[in-house]
Amino acid sequence: MLFRQVIGLKKHWNELVIDFKNYAIVLLALGTFFYIGIFVSSEHPSGQPGMLGASGMMLLAAMICFKVSLVYKKKLQEDTEQ
């Protein structure tokens, strides 16, 4: 019974690592596209501060997701070593 719970916990942590890494990749791509959009859309300079803010928030969220993914990956590795 306990063995099944440990296996389930490891599987859950592995799924969290994959999920947060995927979230981070998507947010990184979106943030990059918004950042590129600042330079491409020179016709409407009024939208540039909003796009810059959105780009910064997405890049920050991507960094946070990568960090959370790394935390769960370290937990999984520590649990595997024991």
Number of domains the chain is built from: 1
What are 23-81's pLDDT values in tens digits?
999 999 999 998 888 877 666 677 778 888 989 999 999 999 999 999 999 998 988 87
**What's residue 2's pLDDT?**
66
Q: Distance (Å, rounded) from C-alpha 46 to C-alpha 11?
A: 47
Q: Is residue 55 part of a domain?
A: yes
Q: Is residue 5 part of a domain?
A: no
Q: Distance (Å, rounded) from C-alpha 41 to C-alpha 43?
A: 5
Q: Distance (Å, rounded) from C-alpha 42 to C-alpha 46?
A: 9
What are 8-17's pLDDT values in tens digits?
888 888 999 9
Q: Is residue 46 part of a domain?
A: yes
**What's residue 39's pLDDT?**
79
- Please give the biggest Cα pair distance in the chain: 64
What are 12-36's pLDDT values in tens digits?
889 999 999 999 999 999 999 988 8
| Cβ neighbours for 24, distance < 8 A, ≥ 6 positions apart | 61, 62, 63, 65, 66, 69
Give residue 57's domain range. 14-81
